[in-house]
Amino acid sequence: MKTTLYQLAILSVLWTVSMLAYADDVVVVVHPSNPLTEISVEDVKKIYLGKKKFFPRGTKVIPGDQPKETQSHKFFYGGIIGKSEAKLKLYWPRLIFTGKATPPKIIGLDQAVKEWVAEEPQAMGYIMRTEADDTVKILDLK
């Protein structure tokens, strides 16, 4: 039993470290006309968890999501949002079925998210860094 707990603790630490490393591989993007150049990790978390509905000192934000099977989703939620899939499964129903918030709309894979953000001035999305180009603006995370 003791060994199992140690193993779980070590696995947990390794998983966290790997997710933090992978977090650099995924970027948060907005429409090029958005005046923001940077955003705090805490604000990104709040936006994607339905706790913040507006850009910092700005207009309403529409967060876009990717299917949970994608690498971008795993890196984003594991490394930036910091919530496991197990906790997210319980988190959203509590908000949805009280009418307090709905989860971000699933837009699609990196390419679909990039195209959607390029067309939607209020959009926020995340994609792999290697997929980003000048049709979207990458926000620095602070």
Partner 1 sequence: MSRIRKCNLGIRPICLAVVSMVLPLTAVSGEIGDIQWHGYLTSALMITSDGEYSGDVTDAGGTKDTRMGLNISTQVDESLSFVAQITGRDTEKFIMELDWAFASYDFDESTILRFGKIKYPVGMYNEYIDIGYTYPWIRPPEGFYNQDASGPNLTRVSYQGFDAGFTTFRDNIEFGFNLFGGVVDVPDGHMNQLVGAKLSINMEDEIRFELSGASGVMDIDNSFGRKTMMDGERHTAYTAGVIADFANFIVSSEFGSATMGQKHGGERPMDMNSGYIMGGYRLDGYMPHITWEKWNVNGGWGQKIIGVGVLKELTTNSVLKLELRRVTPETTQKPTGGVGLFEDVPSEKNVTLVGLAIEMVF
Q: Which residues bind partner 1 (CB under 8 A)?
A: 8, 12, 42, 46, 49, 51-54, 59-60, 83, 86-87, 89-91, 93-94, 96-99, 102, 105
**38-39 and 62-65: which strand pairing?**
unpaired
For the bound state, the minimum distance from the C-beta of residue 100 to partner 1, rounded and expressed in Å, comes to 8
24 with 128: CB under 8 angstroms?
Answer: no
**137-141 and 26-30: which strand pairing?**
antiparallel
Task: For the beta carbon of residue 15, count every other beta carbon within 10 angstroms.
Answer: 12
For the bound state, the minimum distance from the C-beta of residue 80 to partner 1, rounded and expressed in Å, comes to 14
Rounded distance between C-alpha atoms, residue 11 and residue 48, angstroms: 26
CB closer to partner 1 out of 60 and 130: 60
Rounded distance between C-alpha atoms, residue 29 and residue 87, angstroms: 25
Rounded distance between C-alpha atoms, residue 134 and residue 142, angstroms: 21
CB closer to partner 1 out of 85 and 140: 85
CB closer to partner 1 out of 15 and 133: 15
For the bound state, the minimum distance from the C-beta of residue 12 to partner 1, rounded and expressed in Å, comes to 8
For the bound state, the minimum distance from the C-beta of residue 133 to partner 1, rounded and expressed in Å, comes to 28
CB closer to partner 1 out of 98 and 130: 98
